[in-house]
Structure 1
């Protein structure tokens, strides 16, 4: 039997419709081009004066932000090589909440610099090995750049903590960063346990109320729920809590049924039996000492009526995640069946009342310290878009506080640490022998991306700023010289200053260097791209009748 016309090799193993890209020109350089495009997109958002991006996701939701994590997530990138950098940025956002733009920018810059080395004849594996060695050396130098006296920090001092969080917040809300940093520090300190290592990010919540401005935001000790209670009971103290994951109403049958009533007495008895069952349920709650009930679904009129009779505060919660937080805050167990809870299923709340904030009524649930502390930052703003961006900035500050409680070491901000690393790595790289010196030099040059972007977004000449920074860091006393983003442009002098009060977390820099290098070396080590046929049938016509 002839095999003429039959596929062979890799083509015979994969389904029709697959893609197979191999070779230096096709696979490696194309991957580098995709990653360079991603870095170019997010690089202009780096720093306090970073530009905002308008991103519309697949649900037609609009995002106006300079947060790199939000940008790369909502762009829904499908290129496999660019996804490696996105995964590194998501890991950075999940662990530390800050430094995502640094990871994307540095990884794309490393790959862009490797392109010239590939054209010069270096193998991608040799470049990856050189980058890994240079990264190890950079982490050693970073230990030497820790600011003296920053090893210890009183995490219960609002002024000290807000100063450490200001830089992380300033990259997204410059001008309001001191206000938001103080709010974040106040909320985090209010819920921080005696051992800062046990700090939980979920203990600090954010509630957004439209109106006024960011300067009118405040911290409330407790959980703020943006809803009104269902009845007229607006305040309870030292209340036992019952939580129902489903609606608080009579049990309904899964199928429709018909009830035949032959007289008015039977109709009256049928209605009375429903009332008696609901009365027995609510009376059982009242006898158990329950004063506060949370319902995860609709509330029946009879249940609301008897809750009013027994002075039970009733709150409807539409989000299952919010219901889960309430259970964790009160110690209650969510019941899937409408019945009187057992004593071990009942929670406790010190106080629950209704307050008015900016014309909006909200419910404030305050808890006893023994049950756990909760704080809510109530954000005020003119538009939802502004408050969304401020919420992302506060989230970064909360994650930075978590990292600060574990490792308080700090380094100079404003591009000072990156320029010092670039200067020392350049000297170290020139002392190497063999091919490793070329990737080391490119690694040092890639670190210029941070001060270069800070200068560009601030309106300064980037090349002149980088030259002046190299001259300043050649002096042993110039390790803290960074870019002055507030300096006037066109003054004839480079925008440099001693970045004394501005600091970045050492942990953020350490992880950013490591994740960016790992993402870049992973892309460089790829020599083939194999994509199977996507699942699903053929797509229909874009519009109109199929006929």
Structure 2
């Protein structure tokens, strides 16, 4: 049979040739195209999501109360957490969400700048489209302005402030992390910044360039008390007490079992026939003897602390007590791995005496009560040399405040890591954005053609940061932007918004020499991600969505 005949086999389906693109796709799809239906709707969605997060920018940013699909209440001003918990469905707004998550993963800070600046860039395009500019003209102008900003205008601003020299000085790390912590939790930065610096320095390598892993700094949240009661432990903190009556050991060898400390079950089912009471006694004695041999072998190897990843039987606990050892049960395999990192132990899958290479060491293991809750502390006496893990024991009055402080500390640790890689700073408090805005506008005056309108709109979009900071602080944004622009035009490149100084007439709010610092790497990454996300949205001229799978 020829191909032509094969093609005619089977029932024919009448196709409506006049239906256009809807004929190509299954029933239930949606498609929108053109400037009005696709581009402007994408711009509107991105502008809406940036409007939600913009009021949370800066030290005076407001919190958002989000109730997720599981009913969990989240109170935070962290932009990455907000956009993640909102469960955004619009594909264009999802691009801003992904950009914010990338910024949070790489640098920890600057997520609100990504969403706010990208949203403002796209909001500026509405006037350009009404003027008659084509989206390709806008994309071309934004691309030119972005390249000029990142390659020529931004790097000179990093020479104004004194950079981090070595990355091993506590004061330098505090200087790098304090603005990040203040932006997330104003009022606690003077308490949290020294804790973050101490925890980072405790896990930093003693040789070579200063560096550490953000996974090496953990947070143990204990409800109750005040944030001033928080402290750093160079080691591991388990949020549960010991299983044994002994509660402390010094200079202890530690063995970690990923399995439970109990009699192992047989692989095959069997039946034991007991004829009298002596058979029952002998059966129990043999099981006890075997368990005692195992625990005695562990004790003879010099181990003082046993950690189990599973259940600990009463028989095993009895012999552990007899031989004067401590026992801790850790249910989470992630916590077990962190304990192995802190002590240098190897998690064993067999129950028996460990070799010297498999044992870990801890200078001081003890149980104590914090906030009415027993915890077990594995502390090293000299954290800068022997500990590979630091734990910040965090105290607060409510669980929502604890979670918000944990997010702030996570951003501060990322900032400290970024400062170790690239210790350059740029002026904060909107000073960098205002300086870049003036330079981009001046660059627009030198560009012929239609690109100059898009470049000038790009420069105006940069003013969103000082404008938002002044709005969130309750200042007159018009007066602040005018005074800030005049200060930068007169050569004061580090002039920024001062939320504390209201000025003589109560409307100035501008500091000629801002004390707020932003890391250069964080700022450059945030601006680049915002530009890339906005250009991606502008390059879309058609949205085609298939019918969702599943039932009603």
* Fold in common (TM above 0.5): yes
- Alignment deviations for residues 373-395 of structure 1 (CA, whole Å, 9 cap, x no partner): 32222212111111211111111
Q: 2:549 is matched with which residue?
A: 535
Aligned-partner SS, 2:305: strand
CA–CA distance in structure 2, aligned partners of residues 496 and 236 of structure 1: 57
CA–CA distance in structure 1, aligned partners of residues 391 and 59 of structure 2: 26
- Alignment deviations for residues 389-409 of structure 1 (CA, whole Å, 9 cap, x no partner): 111111111110101111111
Per the alignment, do residues 257 and 459 of structure 1 end up closer, same or farther by CA in structure 2, a change over 3 Å counting? Answer: farther
Q: 1:113 is matched with which residue?
A: 124
**Which region of structure 1 is more displaced relative to structure 2, 420-429 or 160-169?**
160-169
User: TM-score, length-normalised on structure 1?
Assistant: 0.92
**Which region of structure 1 is more displaced relative to structure 2, 190-199 or 219-228?**
190-199
**Which region of structure 1 is more displaced relative to structure 2, 259-268 or 175-184?**
259-268
**Which region of structure 1 is more displaced relative to structure 2, 190-199 or 23-32?**
190-199
Q: 2:424 is matched with which residue?
A: 409
- Alignment deviations for residues 503-535 of structure 1 (CA, whole Å, 9 cap, x no partner): 111111111110100010011111222333333
> Which residue, 24, 46, 64 being the options, matches 1:53?
64
Q: 1:28 is matched with which residue?
A: 39
Shift of 1:242: 2.1
Aligned-partner SS, 2:184: coil
**Which region of structure 1 is more displaced relative to structure 2, 234-243 or 406-415?**
234-243
1:459, 1:489 within 8 Å by CA — same for their partners in 2? no
Per the alignment, do residues 149 and 446 of structure 1 end up closer, same or farther by CA in structure 2, a change over 3 Å counting? Answer: closer
1:134 aligns with 2:145: yes
Q: 1:514 is matched with which residue?
A: 528
CA–CA distance in structure 2, aligned partners of residues 438 and 331 of structure 1: 61
Q: 2:196 is matched with which residue?
A: 184
Q: 1:161 is matched with which residue?
A: 173
Per the alignment, do residues 177 and 499 of structure 1 end up closer, same or farther by CA in structure 2, a change over 3 Å counting? Answer: farther
CA–CA distance in structure 2, aligned partners of residues 330 and 133 of structure 1: 53
Shift of 1:38: 0.6
Q: 1:323 is matched with which residue?
A: 336
CA–CA distance in structure 2, aligned partners of residues 255 and 447 of structure 1: 71
Aligned-partner SS, 1:161: helix
1:4 aligns with 2:14: yes
Per the alignment, do residues 6 and 288 of structure 1 end up closer, same or farther by CA in structure 2, a change over 3 Å counting? Answer: farther
1:193, 1:199 within 8 Å by CA — same for their partners in 2? yes
Q: 1:356 is matched with which residue?
A: 369
Tell me the matched-pair count.
Answer: 537
Counterparts of 1:205-216 in structure 2, within 5 Å, are 205-216=218-229
1:416, 1:499 within 8 Å by CA — same for their partners in 2? no
Q: 1:443 is matched with which residue?
A: 458
Per the alignment, do residues 239 and 480 of structure 1 end up closer, same or farther by CA in structure 2, a change over 3 Å counting? Answer: same
- Alignment deviations for residues 397-426 of structure 1 (CA, whole Å, 9 cap, x no partner): 111010111111111111111111111111
Aligned-partner SS, 1:345: coil
> Which residue, 89, 104, 125 being the options, matches 2:115?
104
CA–CA distance in structure 2, aligned partners of residues 446 and 93 of structure 1: 22
**Which region of structure 1 is more displaced relative to structure 2, 76-85 or 259-268?**
259-268
Aligned-partner SS, 1:171: helix
Shift of 1:210: 2.1
Aligned-partner SS, 1:294: strand
CA–CA distance in structure 2, aligned partners of residues 188 and 534 of structure 1: 47
CA–CA distance in structure 1, aligned partners of residues 209 and 238 of structure 2: 27
**Which region of structure 1 is more displaced relative to structure 2, 34-43 or 22-31?**
22-31
1:497 aligns with 2:508: no
Q: 1:545 is matched with which residue?
A: none
1:414, 1:499 within 8 Å by CA — same for their partners in 2? no
CA–CA distance in structure 2, aligned partners of residues 32 and 490 of structure 1: 40
Counterparts of 1:95-494 in structure 2, within 5 Å, are 95-139=106-150, 140-148=152-160, 150-194=162-206, 195-252=208-265, 259-367=272-380, 372-476=387-491, 478-488=492-502, 491-494=505-508
Q: 1:544 is matched with which residue?
A: none
Question: RMSD of the TM alignment (CA)?
Answer: 2.3
**Which region of structure 1 is more displaced relative to structure 2, 346-355 or 66-75?**
346-355
Per the alignment, do residues 232 and 15 of structure 1 end up closer, same or farther by CA in structure 2, a change over 3 Å counting? Answer: farther
- Alignment deviations for residues 318-370 of structure 1 (CA, whole Å, 9 cap, x no partner): 22211111122223222334344444433332332223334433211124766
Aligned-partner SS, 2:340: helix
2:234, 2:387 within 8 Å by CA — same for their partners in 1? no
1:411, 1:417 within 8 Å by CA — same for their partners in 2? yes
5+ residue gaps in structure 1? 540-547
Shift of 1:78: 1.9
5+ residue gaps in structure 2? 1-7
2:306, 2:326 within 8 Å by CA — same for their partners in 1? yes
CA–CA distance in structure 2, aligned partners of residues 196 and 70 of structure 1: 32
Shift of 1:441: 0.8
CA–CA distance in structure 1, aligned partners of residues 176 and 512 of structure 2: 17
2:221, 2:395 within 8 Å by CA — same for their partners in 1? yes
CA–CA distance in structure 2, aligned partners of residues 532 and 319 of structure 1: 41
Counterparts of 1:83-98 in structure 2, within 5 Å, are 83-98=94-109
**Which region of structure 1 is more displaced relative to structure 2, 204-213 or 146-155?**
146-155
Shift of 1:84: 0.9
User: TM-score, length-normalised on structure 2?
Assistant: 0.92
Per the alignment, do residues 122 and 258 of structure 1 end up closer, same or farther by CA in structure 2, a change over 3 Å counting? Answer: farther
